[in-house]
């Protein structure tokens, strides 16, 4: 739907420019619209030349920055980030080691005491279970003989 509209508008512009150019040749006088278009063309040409010069000047700088400076700066930033992270980690670990909760005079907390008791019970059970297994295996060997 929009494509035919664009086509008709561009056709009308071309026909208008053709009509004004024919009128210019007959009257030997440049119409107002063509003077504006000519001034716009000159300004666009000046802008294009300035843009080309600016691009030529900045191209080498951009290549130098992206090929040389950016890798160096990123490596330096990465090294600083690593050093800061290691330093913060060390401070955090020292703070954790020096916490008052871990240095209580009464020793281990109730949770850790209960955990140790359960661990001892588990080890005793495993020891008794392994002894009973060895006795069972010896009994089965004796019956087989």
Q: What is the mean pLDDT of the chain?
A: 81
Four-CA torsion 16, 21, 23, 24, nearest 10 degrees = 140
pLDDT score recorded for residue 138: 61
pLDDT score recorded for residue 127: 75
Q: How confident is the model at residue 36 (pLDDT cuts 50, 70, 90)?
A: confident
Kindly tell me if the per-residue pLDDT of 33 is higher than 90. Answer: no
CA separation for the pair 30, 53 (Å, rounded): 33
Kindly tell me if the per-residue pLDDT of 2 is higher than 80. Answer: yes
Q: Where along the chain do its domains lie?
A: 109-145
Kindly tell me if the per-residue pLDDT of 60 is higher than 60. Answer: yes
Q: Taking CA 38 as the corner, what is the angle to CA 36 and CA 39, rounded to the nearest 5 degrees?
A: 65
The beta-carbon contacts of 33-40 under 8 Å, at least 24 apart in sequence, are none
Kindly tell me if the per-residue pLDDT of 50 is higher than 70. Answer: yes
Kindly tell me if the per-residue pLDDT of 143 is higher than 60. Answer: no
CA separation for the pair 40, 47 (Å, rounded): 10
| Tokens of residue 91, six digits | 């401070």
Give 7-21 pLDDT, tens digit per residue. 999 999 999 888 888
pLDDT score recorded for residue 69: 93
pLDDT score recorded for residue 128: 73
CA separation for the pair 66, 58 (Å, rounded): 12
Kindly tell me if the per-residue pLDDT of 142 is higher than 60. Answer: no
CA separation for the pair 142, 135 (Å, rounded): 11
HSE-up of residue 61 (Cα within 13 Å, Cβ side): 5
């Amino acid at each position: 739907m929009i494509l035919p509209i664009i086509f008709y508008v561009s056709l009308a512009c071309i026909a208008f420019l053709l009509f004004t150019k024919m009128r210019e040749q007959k009257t030997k006088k440049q119409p107002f619209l063509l003077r504006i278009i000519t001034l716009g063309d000159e300004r666009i040409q000046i802008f294009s030349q300035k843009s080309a010069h600016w691009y030529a000047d900045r191209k080498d700088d951009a290549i130098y920055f992206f090929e040389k400076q950016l890798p160096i700066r990123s490596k330096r930033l990465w090294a600083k980030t690593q050093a800061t992270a290691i330093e913060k980690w060390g401070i955090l670990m020292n703070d954790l080691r020096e916490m008052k909760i871990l240095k209580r005079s009464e020793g281990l907390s109730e949770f850790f005491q209960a955990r140790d008791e359960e661990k001892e019970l588990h080890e005793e059970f495993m020891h008794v279970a392994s002894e009973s297994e060895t006795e069972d295996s010896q009994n089965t060997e004796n019956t087989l003989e």
